[in-house]
Structure 1
């Protein structure tokens, strides 16, 4: 299982990528990946 602390670091990185792109498809993928990281760490999805 992924620690919540490590998950938050990964999500922060994905968030930066999310806001750097204007592509809806890319944003959807970054959001999907962030939720996968949240699930792996036992955090609630957003």
Structure 2
């Protein structure tokens, strides 16, 4: 079965940068790896 790609955007300029990273990790851990392929999209503190 073909996996569904799920984009997970995290990080950013916010003071919640580290919380966002931790949340993204939790989402990846919770995904059913048989059904979904996580595509991580990280934004650094400068917004890149």
TM-score normalised by structure 2 residue count:
0.50
Unaligned runs of 5+ in 2: 1-11
RMSD: 2.6
Cα distance between partner residues in 1 of 2:28 and 2:21: 10
Aligned residues: 34
Local SS of the residue matching 2:16: helix
Instruction: Please list every run of 5 or more consecutive structure 1 residues that lacks an aligned counterpart in the other structure.
Output: none
Structure showing greater radius of gyration is: 2
Indicate the structure with greater strand content. 2
- Calculate the TM-score normalised by the size of structure 1: 0.52
Tell me which protein shows more helix as a share of its residues. Answer: 1
Deviations 1:1-46 (A, max 9, x none): 725x52111110011001111211xx11xx11xx12x2xx13xxxx
Structure showing greater relative contact order (alpha-carbon pairs closer than 8 Å, 6 or more residues apart)? 2
